[in-house]
Amino acid sequence: GDTYYYSLGDVEEFDVGGGSDVPELTTSSASSIKSDSAVLNGKLTSLGDGKKITEYGFYYGTTSSASTKKKVGDDDDRLKKGDTFDFKLSGLKPDTKYYFKSYAKSSEGIGYGSVKSFTTAEDKEDTPVVTTTSSVFTIGSSYYTLNGSSQAMDAAPYIKNSRTYMPIRYVGYAMGLTDAQIQWYEATRTVILTKGSTTVVLVIGSPTMFVNGQARVMDVAPEITNSRTCLPIAWVAAAFGHTAVWNGATQQVTIAGVTVPGVSKGELKLSRSSLTLEPGDDATITGTLSVDIDDVDYSISGDRVVTVKTTITGTSFKATIKANSGADDGDEATITFTVTDNNGIKYEAELDVAVEDDSGSEVEVSTSKATSITKDSARLNGAVTDDGDLDIKRFGFYYGTNKSQVSKGEDGSADYSKGKGSESKFYLDLDDLDSNKKYYFMAYAVDEDSDITYGKVLDFTTKK
Q: How confident is the model at residue 45 (pLDDT cuts 50, 70, 90)?
A: very high
Same domain for 109 and 161?
no
Does residue 139 share a domain with residue 82? no
Same domain, 91 and 173: no
Domain that holds residue 11: 2-119
Q: Is the pLDDT of residue 9 over 50?
A: no
Residue 452 sits in a domain whose CATH number is 2.60.40.10
Same domain? 250 vs 327: no
Most confidently modeled range among 16-20, 353-357, 401-405 = 401-405
Model-wide pTM > 0.85: no
CA distance 168 to 105: 62
Q: 410 and 456 share a domain?
A: yes
Same domain, 56 and 111: yes
Q: How many CB atoms lie within 10 A of CB 419?
A: 23
CB proximity list for 259: less than 8 A, separation 6 or greater: 130, 131, 132, 133, 175, 176, 195
Q: How many CB atoms lie within 10 A of CB 126?
A: 12
Number of domains the chain contains: 4
Is there a single domain that holds both residue 136 and residue 254?
Answer: yes
Same domain, yes or no: 453 and 342:
no
Within a domain: 125: no
pLDDT of residue 274: 81
Contact 390, 363 (CB under 8 A): yes
Examine the domain organization and report whether 139 and 254 are in the same domain.
yes
Last residue of a domain, one of 233, 259, 285: 259
Examine residue 126 and state whether it is found in any structural domain, yes or no: no
Question: Which pLDDT score, from 0 to 100, does residue 18 have?
Answer: 46
Where are the strands (E) in 303-359, listed by range? 306-313, 316-323, 332-341, 346-355
Considering 317, 337, 355, which residue would you say is the last residue of a domain?
A: 355
Domain boundary at 328, 355, 382, which? 355
Q: What is the CATH number of the domain that holds 222?
A: 3.30.457.10
Residue 202, domain member (yes or no): yes
Are 15 and 115 found together in one domain? yes
Give the mean model confidence (pLDDT) for residues 403-412: 89
**Same-domain status, 220 and 172:** yes
- Tens of pLDDT along 272-307? 888 888 888 899 999 988 888 888 999 888 888 899
What's the CA gap between 64 and 98, in Å, rounded?
8
pLDDT band, very low/low/confident/very high, at 13 (cuts 50, 70, 90):
very low
For residue 14, pLDDT over 50 is answered with: no
Looking at the fold, whether 179 and 80 belong to one and the same domain comes out as no
Taking 90 as the threshold, does the pLDDT of residue 367 lie above it? yes
